[in-house]
């Protein structure tokens, strides 16, 4: 059961048509916090609705299936589950950029600096050079797109590796912020499953 009431089969039948079920889930289970942040932690990026994530992964596969993807790239932590589900459909490895220096990363790394407006600081993201190369065709996936800083950092890492960026998939885009425009200026093949037009007075409207 998806969300306890909508079956996975119903979700499969409708998801690829107009994404209304994803929007319904955001409206039902998401909420806007006092600092105007959309919280979807009950199903997307803290507690995970696996049936929903599976269908999200399937939808990204439908969109990008003809791009001959060899690697999926995301950023810890919220993007990992989404990318992993998609990776099963693409049958390719998933690589995630780490936000902190780790003893688990040995050897040379690609790094990029990302400004986090949520946390009010800059941080370095890194990917081992062992896992991205000029032979790869990369799809970037993440849960949210707002100002686009995390995505620009991931794109920078792809460019450093010499790999080809084939597209970027986002589950929820804040269309009233400038992230999508920044990516389109870089000619990124961007697809967002749900685009929020506004979050005024505690209410969501979709574009």
Hey, what CATH topology would domain 67-206 get? Rossmann fold (3.40.50)
Tell which wins on pLDDT, 115 or 165. Answer: 165
Distances (CA, A) of 134 to 46, 113, 129, 180, 195: 34, 21, 11, 26, 32
pLDDT at 8: 35
pLDDT band at 99 (very low <50, low <70, confident <90, very high): confident
Q: Are 172 and 26 in contact (CB under 8 A)?
A: yes
pLDDT band at 120 (very low <50, low <70, confident <90, very high): low
pLDDT at 12: 39
Give the distance, in angstroms, between the CA of residue 160 and the centroid of all CA atoms in the same chain: 20
Average pLDDT over residues 85-98: 97
Nearest-angstrom CA–CA distance, 178 and 169: 16
Nearest-angstrom CA–CA distance, 2 and 189: 29
Mean of per-residue pLDDT scores for the chain: 87
pLDDT band at 191 (very low <50, low <70, confident <90, very high): very high
Share of the chain above pLDDT 70, in %: 86
Average pLDDT over residues 123-138: 96
Give 138's strand partners: 71, 165
Average pLDDT over residues 23-49: 90
**Closest by CA position to 199, among listed 29, 40, 38, 44:** 38
Judge if pTM exceeds 0.85. yes
Kindly list the domain boundaries of the chain, sorted by start residue.
Answer: 67-206
- Asked if the model's pLDDT at residue 70 lies above 90, the reply is yes
Average pLDDT over residues 100-128: 80
pLDDT band at 103 (very low <50, low <70, confident <90, very high): low
Which DSSP symbol is given to 44? T
- Asked if the model's pLDDT at residue 192 lies above 60, the reply is yes
């Amino acid at each position: 059961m998806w969300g306890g009431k909508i079956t996975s089969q119903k979700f499969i039948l409708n998801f690829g048509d107009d994404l209304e079920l994803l929007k319904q889930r955001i409206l039902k289970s998401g909420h806007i916090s006092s600092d105007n942040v959309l919280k979807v932690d009950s199903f997307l990026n803290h507690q995970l609705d696996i049936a929903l994530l599976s269908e999200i992964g399937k939808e990204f596969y439908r969109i990008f299936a003809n791009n001959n993807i060899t690697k999926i790239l995301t950023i810890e932590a919220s993007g990992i589950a989404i990318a992993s589900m998609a990776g099963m459909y693409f049958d390719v490895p998933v690589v995630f950029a780490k936000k902190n220096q780790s003893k688990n990363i040995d050897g040379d790394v690609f790094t990029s600096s990302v400004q986090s407006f949520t946390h009010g600081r800059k941080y370095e993201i890194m990917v081992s050079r062992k896992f991205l190369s000029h032979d790869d065709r990369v799809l970037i996936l993440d849960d949210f797109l707002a100002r686009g800083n995390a995505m620009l950092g991931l794109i920078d890492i792809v460019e450093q590796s010499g790999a080809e960026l084939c597209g970027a998939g986002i589950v929820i885009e804040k269309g009233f912020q400038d992230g999508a425009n920044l990516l389109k200026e870089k000619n990124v093949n961007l697809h967002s499953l749900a685009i929020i037009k506004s979050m005024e007075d505690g209410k969501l409207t979709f574009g």
